Structure 1
Amino acid sequence: MTRVKVCGFTREADLEAAIAAGVDAVGLIAGVTVDTPREIDLEVASRLAATVPPLVSSVLVTMPGDAGEARRRIERVRPDAVQLHGLDPVDVAALADAPADVIAVVEPTDPELDAYAETADALLVDSIDAEGGGGTGETHDWERTREIVTGLDVPVVLAGGLTPENVSTAVETVDPFAVDVASGVEREGGVKDYDAVERFVERATRARVAP
């Protein structure tokens, strides 16, 4: 069954509602260099991460300048996993002993996909903007991402433009380890639509992969 990560929480009530809806992971965006209404500071991220119950993963979503800065943020927030935007495979490899699983964010056409797959615990395939950030709300070539899933042993998370309306098709096409959504389940920037979260989880987890 495909796992579900909902990203960009700014309020504890929204996080609790998503957990009640059955998400597998919650994303907390802190320390990024792009303008987003979903960013919180590291102290808030640490507080929210501490409220996540067992069997649900907290994920720090961040854009550090190097591996050392990433490690300091991990130690400060203490998430179960860290989702890294903008680091090269060398810096990702330097975090192999970090106290969190490492998810590297890549585009489906990234020439260093194999190198990231060798150094990260998982890949998140997203539509990345000119500043290196995800969360663009734009889909990408799902057939290409299906090739990545098939060709690599590392778990692949599908992101980019997913909504309750298209997530079933995305899962059926790509067969990802997990799907990731932020703006697709919001009433406004940084505020979740609880009904949309519930529909997204239900449709993602019930979708059947095409042969």
Structure 2
Amino acid sequence: MTRVKICGLTTESDLELVVGAGVDAVGIIVDVPVETPREVSVDRAAELADAVPPFATSVLVTMPDTVDRTVHVADAVEPDVLQLHGEFGVDELADIRERTGRSLVLAVDADEASNARRYDGTVDAFLVDTPAEDGGGGTGRTHDWGRTRSVAANLESPVILAGGLTPENVDAAVDAVDPFAVDVASGVEVEGGVKDGDAVRSFVEHAKHSYGTEASPQP
């Protein structure tokens, strides 16, 4: 069964909503150099991470500029998992993993996803997202799912699919890529940073009842 992460949580009410809908992981965005209504302060992120109940995974989504800053934010927020965006070398990622003691998800651009092989074994999973001009994700646009499926097949680490997913297309996305998990933010919102309960429940239902057993054409 495909796992589901809802990203960009900013309030306890939305946290309760998505956990109640059956998500496996929640993403809390901190310390990113791009403008987004989903970013919260380090202190707020720590409060939200602390409110995540047992059997749901808290994910700190961040794009820091140094290893030390990454470790500092991780220690302050205390998430279960770190999702890193930005440019890090293999040795830097290994250092972060050792110093924080947390699992690492490395975000990679869909256009350059084949480069993930150099980090395979250093991180615990890859998030493949549609790139933005500023280097971040969250574009709300899909990418070539067939190419992502090919990349995933050559990686030992699990692949999390992101980029333009919605309740309407997540079935096709799972069938096309057969990812370990899917990740959505804007695709289940009524406005930036505010989740839509019906959309969240529909997304989870469709994602978890798709099995990725055969490739499907991208809509």
* Identical pairs, percent: 52
Matched to 1:2, the amino acid is T
Residue matched to 1:101 = 103
Measured against aligned partners, the alpha-carbon deviations of 1:107-155 in whole angstroms (never above 9, x if no partner) come to 1332531112232111000012121111110111100110122111101
CA shift at 1:210, angstroms? 3.1
Distance in 1 (CA, whole Å) between partners of 2:94 and 2:115 is: 13
CA shift at 1:194, angstroms? 0.5
Residue matched to 1:152 = 155
Matched to 1:138, the amino acid is R
| Contact 2:111–2:131 (Cα < 8 Å) also in 1 | no
- Deviating above 3 A after TM superposition, structure 1's stretches of 4 or more consecutive aligned residues are none
In angstroms, what is the RMSD of aligned CA positions? 1.1
2:144 aligned with 1:137, yes or no?
A: no
Matched to 1:144, the amino acid is R
Residue matched to 1:40 = 40
Structure 2 counterparts to residues 1-211 of structure 1, below 5 A = 1-90=1-90, 91-97=92-98, 98-110=100-112, 112-211=115-214
Residue matched to 2:217 = none
| Contact 2:139–2:164 (Cα < 8 Å) also in 1 | yes
**Where does structure 1 lack aligned partners over 5 or more consecutive residues?**
none
Distance in 2 (CA, whole Å) between partners of 1:71 and 1:123 is: 19
**Where does structure 2 lack aligned partners over 5 or more consecutive residues?**
215-219
**TM-score, structure 1 normalization:** 0.97
Distance in 2 (CA, whole Å) between partners of 1:210 and 1:38 is: 33
Aligned length: 211
